Amino acid sequence: MSILQLSATELSDRIRSGEIKVTETLDAVFGVIEAKESLLHCYVTLDREKAYQKAALVQRRIDAGELTGPLAGVPFAIKDNLCTQGTRTTCSSKILENFVPAYNAEAVTRLEAAGAVIIGKTNMDEFAMGSTTETSYYGVTRNPHGTDHVPGGSSGGSAAAVAAGECFAALGSDTGGSIRQPASFCGVVGMKPTYGTVSRYGLIAYGSSLDQIGPLTKNVRDCAAVLETIAAHDPKDSTSVARQDTDFTVGLDQDVRGLKIGIPRDYFGEGLDGEVAAAVRKAADVLEVRGAVLEEFDLSLVDYAIPAYYTIASAEASSNLERFDGVKYGYRTGNYEELHQMYKKTRSEGFGPEVKRRILLGSFVLSSGYYDAYYLKALRVKALIKKAFNQAFQRYDCILGPVAPTTAPRLGESLADPIKMYLGDIYTIAVNLAGLPAISVPCGMDAGGLPIGVQLIGDCYQEKKLLRAARQLEAGLGRKDGQGLTDGSEFGEVCHETV
Amino acid sequence: MSVVIDDETIDYVSILAKLDLNEAEKEQAKKDMSRMLDYIDQLNELDTTGVEPMSHVFAVQNVFREDVVTNGDESEAMLANAPAEKQNMFKVPRTVE
Amino acid sequence: MKQYETVIGLEVHVELATKTKIFCGCSTAFGGAPNTHTCPVCTGMPGSLPVLNRQVVEYALAVGLATNCAVHQYCKFDRKNYFYPDNPQNYQISQLYLPICHDGYVEIETSFGSKRVGIHEIHMEEDAGKLIHDEWEDCSLVDYNRSGVPLIEIVSEPDMRSAEEVIAYLEKLRLIIQYLGASDCKLQEGSMRADVNLSVREAGTQKLGTRTEMKNLNSFKAIARAIDGERARQIELLGEGKSVIQETRRWDDNKEYSYAMRSKEDAKDYRYFPDPDLTPVFIDDAWIARVRSAQPEFRTEKMARYRREYGIPEYDIEIITGSKHMADLFEAAVAICHQPKKVSNWLMVETLRLLKERELEPEDIRFSPEHLAGLIQMADAGEINSSVAKEVFAVMFEKDVDPLRYVEEHGLRSQNDEGELKALLQEIVSRNPQSVADYRNGKQKAIGFLVGQAMKATSGKADPGLVNRIFKELLS
């Protein structure tokens, strides 16, 4: 079995047993990068030299028995909105094209402490604003399953890199679906944890009350291992939650007998592609066969999540992005005479159209006379949405539905109509408003060979239930550990034997 | 409650947001923002009387640090990315006083 | 000629005496080299996050309770959005919707009697960095050392009518805050700053006139001048049939005139919204009770106690309690040497003289109570005489030296060994028969000459009283 067919945790097992050297894994990954990166463009920045230096260090610590965790020696990709000390961090924006942070994001620090080897920074929608990775200043990323298609977004580079074998696992961030949707489009596992589970320190903020960092991986076991590594209370992030139950790999293989799963009828309405609906229903059947109890219900308020989200996220973004002004770091316009002109030219030249669109909207909804009507109204609707989920979770252990209404659109199709693009977030966005955990698991392919994902949503702090169900789903759908879509394996028929 | 986004509004918002828009961008911004606000207006279909605005999902409160100095002189690292610097300070166009 | 009434409200910013900044672990020490007290948080680096310093809440609450405020037990931080280079995030973390304290008052005393000035609210916020204007290059330079230093802003009601009331109010606030130890409140160094909101209206009318806000007031004198100047300017405008424009004006104390601070690039629309990076602060009853019970003895109570316990003049009491630092010094020194009158005397005479000479405030006194008490004890024991004591005190005032050590090192101890002294004086007596004869003939003054000779011979280190006594014994 080639190194590339291994999952991240399988790879680490073999590295720790001495079977494979860390540098060999880098050789393998950089081999794929050489072959595919010029077409796919998953990365904004690759740092081969630093990766090999780190690899040598990690190898020594593994040999010395200091690194014993499930990610030791695993090559990782990091979304380019997570600060990496000494490696430029651009948010795929011109305004940060030369920004080299002096500090690591807390999640990056934790990964490196566990022996992960970071090989590069992945492409994304500029400042995580977008669903296709097409708003990047550094060019589009292509979907490894169909290179005329987008990888999804905003963590498109991370999802594509995992799917293409250009890394073994990646970190992304999810503000309205930015991990789950690209995971779905690229046929990998992606998880957004409960708000507060992973420190946001060093994550360049888009919508602070919605942003969470999470894993993009080849399979559910890897996902659990990565989440377990990066989840921790961080005194540097006031919104970080002190949780005791972050041993996500424990009990992963437990069955789902008796697990109550709610399927929202309102997630299967107009706009949902037939093939996607069928694949998601099939995934639900898999869980039912394995003992889960399915029930359809009405979640309600689904249509209101998007307008509430865009109001809140844009408002927060308009404020979060004020610091990019050409004074302390990043791009400064070359041509200015006075202060305010410098601000305006720097920002107008440094930000792309989608970012400007959201900054303008956000500034407007917070401005004098509109704050109550728009911003506070959206926060009230958010409270209603949270309540609707609370009610659902009184009856169900988790909610199952599609991740996105369609499979990956073609490149260039989405940006022309922003609202239509925003509508693509309809199944993922409410999760962020309510701070819930959710996971996207591959569950099939459309006729064109593009992956379809199924989403499992849990109540706050119920990641373990989600991972367990996701693991059973994965097994039931006939995917085995390490059989990412990279090796060309197809989904089998529903398997009836238990794992 | 449909808000009309006119030139004046766009000019005002671009001053707040410190963005310079050319005529074409301004027209596009007017169109985009009007459409988006129309879309957002559907929130008014919901009766939210008596509903408290929810800024934080969790009732986490009183997150503090103790008053102990933990940082040393990091000036070099803080200035390392400065587009313009002089005498260990960030250099900007003259501010009006 | 119409009569006008001046209506004044104050926004007072006070830098709190915490060791670290409000949202990060950087030092708040004043006067460091540029940007040496900075980190990703207080320079607004991408991805950095604020975490609230608990002590800021303690101080803000203490000031609120001392000024009779109600407490918003559930309070939050909001972002105030505006672009300026001293504001690294281009938003200031402040409180608008739920400030920590509200609806309080302080009592002030003026020549017209006592009066209550209402406090609208007190909120917590972060200070901005410092802008330095570089004349050579015609640019500005930003130092973020002050960025993130904790402030409270105390917003008064428009209850003041004159500069005298404003000064009395500020003095009162300053004393309360100093007594709490919440700030040193130095106007010159900017740890206390006042913006003056002023309007005028025809005497007898109720409706408030249009107000202006004046900034850049660095001393009580500047505040008084600015109030008089702005009042005159507004009355003149109204007299000419013009109207006052609501605006922010910058006071130039050298030219004694204020200038409008206007920019077409600034719309005053701060787009306040709750900061999603910070959690709410919940102050329960127990917390309030704890802070209330820890409130110190304020000036009025202290004055009463001084009258009771120390028996020092009323004037001294007023001066000493007028500065928390001086009062602390006084009490600590008295606790050691048990000589309230002498301690007070050193403060009233030598200390005030030296402060005035060097244009310093009582807060700038650097010598320790231990050293002052030590000096008094040495003088009491006759180990040094009074002129040496003054000389030592002057050095102590500058450098806070230990008087005992200083006296030893400089050989200033009195020559009080009676045997040695007697021998010396006997010699002086025998060398000055004329003076001896004069004294014995009833010329009491003649002994003064002999004492002078003795002091000269001992380089001033003998105790003049002792010398006098020995001479009298020798000549009797």
C418-475 CATH: 1.10.10.410
Three-state DSSP at C75 gives strand
Task: Provide, rounded to the nearest whole percent, the portion of chain C with pLDDT above 90.
Answer: 71
Question: Is the confidence at residue C450, as pLDDT, over 90?
Answer: no
Assess contact for B88 and C34: CB atoms under 8 A: yes
3-state SS string for chain A = CCHHHCCHHHHHHHHHCCCCCHHHHHHHHHHHHHHHHHHHCCEEEECHHHHHHHHHHHHHHHHCCCCCCCCCCCEEEEECCECECCECCCCCCHHHCCCCCCCCCHHHHHHHHCCCEEEEEECCCHHHCCCCCCCCCCCCCCECCECCECCCCCCHHHHHHHHHCCCCEEEEEECCCCCHHHHHHHCCEEEECCCCCECCCCECCCCCCCCEEEEEECCHHHHHHHHHHHECCCCCCCCCCCCCCCCCCCCCCCCCCCCEEEEEHHHCCCCCCHHHHHHHHHHHHHHHHCCCEEEEECCCCHHHHHHHHHHHHHHHHHHHHHHCCCCCCCCCCCCCCCHHHHHHHHHHHHCCHHHHHHHHHHHHHHCCCCHHHHHHHHHHHHHHHHHHHHHHHHHCCEEEEECCCCCCCECCCCCCCHHHHHHCCCCCHHHHHCCCCEEEEEEEECCCCCEEEEEEEECCCCHHHHHHHHHHHHHHCCCCCCCCHHHCCCCCCCCCCCC
Question: What is the β-pairing status of strands C52-53 and B64-65?
Answer: parallel
Judged on CB neighbours under 10 Å (0-12, 13-18, 19+), A39 is exposed
pLDDT band at B2; cut points 50, 70, 90: low
How much is the CA Rg of chain A, to the nearest whole Å?
Answer: 21
What are the boundaries of each domain within chain A? Answer: 3-301+383-487
**Mean pLDDT, chain B, integer:** 93
Neighbours of chain B (3+ CB pairs under 8 A): A, C
Of residues C471 and B42, the one with the higher pLDDT is B42
Distance (Å, rounded) from C-alpha A93 to C-alpha A89? 9
- What does the pLDDT read at residue C420? 79
pLDDT band at C120; cut points 50, 70, 90: very high
What is the tens place of the pLDDT at every residue in C145-165?
999 999 999 999 999 999 999
pLDDT band at A334; cut points 50, 70, 90: very high
- What does the pLDDT read at residue A499? 33
A3-301+383-487 CATH: 3.90.1300.10
Q: Is A154 a catalytic site residue?
A: yes
What is the tens place of the pLDDT at every residue in A224-233?
999 999 999 9
Question: Is the confidence at residue C205, as pLDDT, over 80?
Answer: yes
What are the boundaries of each domain within chain C? Answer: 4-288, 297-409, 418-475
Q: Say how many C-beta atoms besides its own lie within 10 A of residue B45's C-beta.
A: 8
pLDDT band at A480; cut points 50, 70, 90: very low
- The reply to whether residue A238 touches residue C273, judged by beta carbons under 8 angstroms, is no
Q: Per the omega criterion (within 30 degrees of 0), is the bond before A154 cis? A: yes
pLDDT band at C262; cut points 50, 70, 90: low
Which among B54, B57, B80 has the least Cβ separation from residue A195?
A: B57
What is the tens place of the pLDDT at every residue in C1-39?
689 999 999 999 999 999 999 999 999 998 899 999 999
Range 348-377 of A in CB contact (< 8 A) with B: 348, 351, 353, 356-357, 359-361, 363-365, 367, 370, 373-374, 376-377
**Pick from A146-150, B42-46, C378-382: least confident:** C378-382
What are the boundaries of each domain within chain B? Answer: 7-45
C277, C278, C279: best to mutate for the A interface, most A CBs within 10 A: C277
Question: Is the confidence at residue C111, as pLDDT, over 80?
Answer: yes
Residues in chain A: 499
Residue B71 has what DSSP assignment?
-
> Is the CB of C269 inside 8 Å of chain A's CB atoms?
yes
- Compute the count of residue pairs across chains B and C with CB atoms less than 8 Å apart: 125
B20, B75, B91: best to mutate for the A interface, most A CBs within 10 A: B20
What is the tens place of the pLDDT at every residue in A207-217?
999 999 999 99
> Is the CB of C144 inside 8 Å of chain B's CB atoms?
yes
- What does the pLDDT read at residue C435? 85
**Pick from A62-66, A434-438, C219-223, C366-370: least confident:** C219-223
Task: Provide, rounded to the nearest whole percent, the portion of chain A with pLDDT above 70.
Answer: 96
pLDDT band at A310; cut points 50, 70, 90: very high
- The reply to whether residue A103 touches residue C40, judged by beta carbons under 8 angstroms, is yes
**Pick from A117-126, B88-97, C365-374, C409-418: least confident:** C409-418
Of residues C264 and A68, the one with the higher pLDDT is A68
Across C236-317, the runs of DSSP E, i.e. the strands, are 248-252, 257-260, 273-274, 281-282
> Is the CB of B49 inside 8 Å of chain A's CB atoms?
no
> Is the CB of A242 inside 8 Å of chain B's CB atoms?
no
State in words which class domain B7-45 has.
Answer: mainly alpha
- What does the pLDDT read at residue A420? 86
- What does the pLDDT read at residue A496? 41
pLDDT band at A495; cut points 50, 70, 90: very low
Catalytic residue among A7, A12, A54, A79: A79
What is the tens place of the pLDDT at every residue in C388-427?
899 999 999 999 999 999 998 988 887 777 777 888 888 8
Distance (Å, rounded) from C-alpha A86 to C-alpha A103? 8
Q: Which two tokens stand for residue A419?
A: 């609202």
Of residues C428 and A33, the one with the higher pLDDT is A33
- The reply to whether residue C83 touches residue B65, judged by beta carbons under 8 angstroms, is no
Residue B58: what are its φ and ψ, rounded to 5°? -105, 155
Question: Is the confidence at residue A488, as pLDDT, over 80?
Answer: no
Range 109-138 of C in CB contact (< 8 A) with B: 131-134, 137-138
Task: Provide, rounded to the nearest whole percent, the portion of chain B with pLDDT above 90.
Answer: 90
Catalytic residue among A136, A178, A318, A414: A178
pLDDT band at C261; cut points 50, 70, 90: confident
> Helices B7-17 and A353-366: crossing angle, nearest 10°?
100
- The reply to whether residue B51 touches residue A98, judged by beta carbons under 8 angstroms, is no
- What does the pLDDT read at residue A294? 98
Compute the nearest-CA separation of C237 from chain B (Å).
24
Question: Is the confidence at residue A167, as pLDDT, over 70?
Answer: yes
Question: Is the confidence at residue A481, as pLDDT, over 70?
Answer: no
**Pick from A390-404, C228-242, C426-440: least confident:** C426-440
Range 54-93 of B in CB contact (< 8 A) with C: 55-56, 60-71, 73-75, 78-79, 86-93
- What does the pLDDT read at residue C448? 84
- What does the pLDDT read at residue A1? 63
- The reply to whether residue A332 touches residue B95, judged by beta carbons under 8 angstroms, is no
Compute the nearest-CA separation of C175 from chain B (Å).
24
**For C390-426, b where at least 16 C-beta lie within 10 A, e where not — what string?**
ebbbeebbeeebbbbebbeeeebbbbbeeeebeebbe
**Mean pLDDT, chain A, integer:** 94
- The reply to whether residue B54 touches residue A374, judged by beta carbons under 8 angstroms, is no
- What does the pLDDT read at residue A125? 98
What is the tens place of the pLDDT at every residue in C323-375?
999 999 999 999 999 999 999 999 999 999 999 999 898 989 999 999 999 99
